[in-house]
Chains A and B, each alone.
Chain A
Amino acid sequence: MNMSFLRLSIWVYLAIFFAYLLGPLVIMSVTAFNSSAFPRMTPWECLTFQWFAELFQDQRILNGIKNSLIIGAGTVVLSVAMGLAGALMLTQVWPKLRATYYTIIIAPILIPGVVLGISTLVFWDRINRMLGLGADSVLSNGIFLTVIGQSTFIASYCMLVLVARLQRYDIALTEAALDLGATHAQAFRKILLPFMRPAIASAAVLAFLASFENYNTTTFTFGEYPTLTIELAQKVRYGITPAISALAFIIVALTVFFALLNEAKLKRQELVAAARQKATVEELAGKVRLPSFFAGNMAAVLLVVFAVATITVVGTATAYNPQQCIANVKEQKRLEAEQRIQELRKQREEQRKQREAQEAEQGAAQPATPRPSNNSGFGNVFAPNSLGNDGNESDDATPETDDAPAGNGGFGGVFDPNSLQGGD
């Protein structure tokens, strides 16, 4: 009883945790398909692909992607090279220097990104001036500065990934190659590099992703070359549109795709290795009979499902036309708005009548009623209606309240509960 309760609570916790982790991404992806001008899941208006079209027409986004790719490529090359050199040095550095050296190359991970960006900017600006170069020199070029600034800490990540693999490397392999006549460069290229290839691939992917998503450092160094992340940040800070959701959806989809692809590949390598173990000599020389690609490979199956889903969606997108639906929603909104105006008029009319009636009554007894009490009376009458306590009208009122800040005109001010409370 106690154990099963514990087990249940673990699963509930896991569910909540992953909901926190993945929920935002799912919601964001879904909003890319809602025709509402503000990225939202509810109320659902119309299925649309217009935000994707809008995304691909945004020159700043496209330019940002281009810059990000250039900077990413530069950062991958520089940080993997430095990370590998740093890792090789770590395995053979003088023991007394080792701790200091390790602290230095690990420090960039802990230094805040803004600090790295600033120090890069300040330092290279100074070098630039010392060399007497102008503001348009390579050293003050945004791409150069960003690659340098990002590589400072991304190389540390690469170094950690590479050193983990390097620790399993038997230095005798390099010695064996040298002993058999290879030069140091040949031994590096033919023995160490192939051994390190999986780790180098991981480090390169990591470096690219880290570069692609970096904001804190890049925001100080990008100069004339804003990356995608910088452009996104500008957009998000000054108003958000579902076009960003569309971009996010594409990135999520690509990520899931490559994750599945990688998983399927790993699984396949396992299966191939297992098959080789069982294979006879003749089979090895010729062709090893391999299990079919999908046998026992869950990730591969998922990959295919994913691909089919993508094709379906793209197919739908080309054939689908949400214009009618959008028009309907617009029409509906217009009707709601009209209805709302009429209700408002009606209410005002009633209130006016009520007030007149009151004033008529009170006027008989106390002709000079002070204005403030009128105001408060107005508010008290008004509030319950707008908050939807008022019978069948409330169903219409609630969504309208939500729409208000997104720009449905003057109603926002009137129906904003805050303003009512403020007036109270």
Chain B
Amino acid sequence: MPGFLKEFFNRNGTGMGLTILLLVLFWTIGLIILPQLSMLDFSFRPNLPPPEIGGPKDVYTLENYQYLVYGPEGGSQDYNSVDLRVFFRTLIAAVCVTIFNLILCYPIAYYLGQSKGNHIRIFAMMLIIPYWINEILRAFALRIIFGETGVLNTIFVGLGIWDTPFDFIRNDIALYAGLGYAYILLMIFPIYNVIESLDHNQIEAARDLGAPWWRIHWRVVIPYAKPGISSGCTMVFMLSAGALAAPQILGGPSSLWFTQLIYQQFNDNNDWPQGAAYAIVLLVTCILFVLAMMRLFKVNMGDIGK
């Protein structure tokens, strides 16, 4: 290690080397590692008023995690069925959103990746522009469309297709559309990047050998694009499971998202350790799920983010 450091300073000079090193250490240790560890530690502590922190009552406890499974002590139910249901519903919905996005985006990414010409640049611009616009405003736009008196209901009822306005929000359709909408770009770009580097001759060759179009995709394009697909799916899954704005704006009053529970613990109940424990559960579950999926589909961690 000292040899590495010496070479590092030789290469960058003392001043520059020190600046780089300090910035990187601040980022990795001060912003990434320590806060996460701190949150982990915090989640094992009881919720105490500030003067008692560090006092005799400040001991490690599992009560925050037990709460998620069993509910409040002496509660009427054996399990915390409300929170657990929200938790699993969030995960399942996030998986659905991911699959929906993959199906929606794969053809577009393939088309953009394999076509040449000026119009591709315009398409790319049209893809990016919505993502320069505030997340809240994107959700708001969907609410205008899906609201009870929104555009869709006005049109369909006006045309006489439906008798009564359909409640998209209560039925979570608005939420899924909104989550899907929010992460389209994150799905398209990784896949596009990989498919762009796929030699078109491979496809031509497969077509030449008489393969139908679906077989070409199944046997040639998808295996090649696997790193991009897994990268896109991972990001969309993690971000939609961790989404907060879209569920708050587009979610129905009765259907909560797990992040909303965390938010409530922090802001409404003022129970930070409980919120931290929930956040840890969400983070760990998502990571384990992604790792399991990666193992199932035989993908490497190093491909993510490329």
Q: What residues of chain A have their CB less than 8 Å away from a CB belonging to chain B?
A: 6, 10, 13-14, 17-18, 20-25, 27-28, 31, 38-43, 81-82, 85-86, 88-89, 92, 94, 99, 101-116, 118-124, 126, 129, 148, 151-152, 155-156, 160, 183-185, 188, 209, 212-216, 219-220, 228-229, 232-233, 236-237, 240, 244-245, 247-248, 251-252, 255-256, 259, 263, 298, 387, 398, 402-403, 405-406, 417-418
Contacts and interface: CB of A to CB of B under 8 A. Distances in A.
Contacts of B95: none
7 contacts: A20-B181, A43-B154, A86-B24, A123-B35, A240-B143, A251-B134, A402-B165
B143 A27 contact: no
B239 A112 contact: yes
A190 to B, nearest CB: 13
Contacts, number: 271
A216 B243 contact: yes
A41 B151 contact: yes
Contacts of B121: 263
Contacts of A21: 126-127, 130, 181, 184
Nearest 6 interchain pairs by C-beta: A112-B242, A184-B13, A85-B23, A24-B141, A123-B35, A119-B35
A364 to B, nearest CB: 38
A121 B138 CA distance: 27
Contact of B130 (A22, A215, A244): A22
B140 A232 contact: yes
A24 B36 CA distance: 37
Interface in B1-30: 1, 4, 8, 11-17, 19-21, 23-24, 26-28
Interface in B130-176: 130-145, 148-151, 153-155, 157-158, 163-165
B111 A42 contact: no
Instruction: Classify the secondary structure of A's interface with B.
Output: helix
B166 to A, nearest CB: 11
Contact of B249 (A39, A105, A220, A236): A236
A114 B181 contact: no
> Most chain-B CB neighbours within 10 Å: which of A160, A255, A263?
A255
B96 interface: no
Interface residues of B, number: 100
Given A6-B213, A185-B16, A112 B241 contact: yes
A65 to B, nearest CB: 12
Contacts of B140: 28, 232, 236, 240, 244-245, 248
Given A21-B130, A236-B140, A402-B154, A82 B276 contact: no
B65 interface: no
Given A102-B302, A123-B38, A215-B245, A110 B234 contact: yes
Contacts of B131: 209
A104 B33 contact: yes
B218 to A, nearest CB: 17
Interface in B238-287: 238-239, 241-245, 248-249, 259, 262-263, 266, 272, 275-276, 279, 282-283, 286-287
Contacts of B286: 112
B79 to A, nearest CB: 24
A99 B302 contact: yes
A110 B244 contact: no
Contact of A112 (B19, B130, B259): B259
Contacts of B259: 112, 114, 216
A209 B132 CA distance: 6
B220 interface: no
A74 to B, nearest CB: 14
> Most chain-A CB neighbours within 10 Å: which of B32, B154, B290?
B32
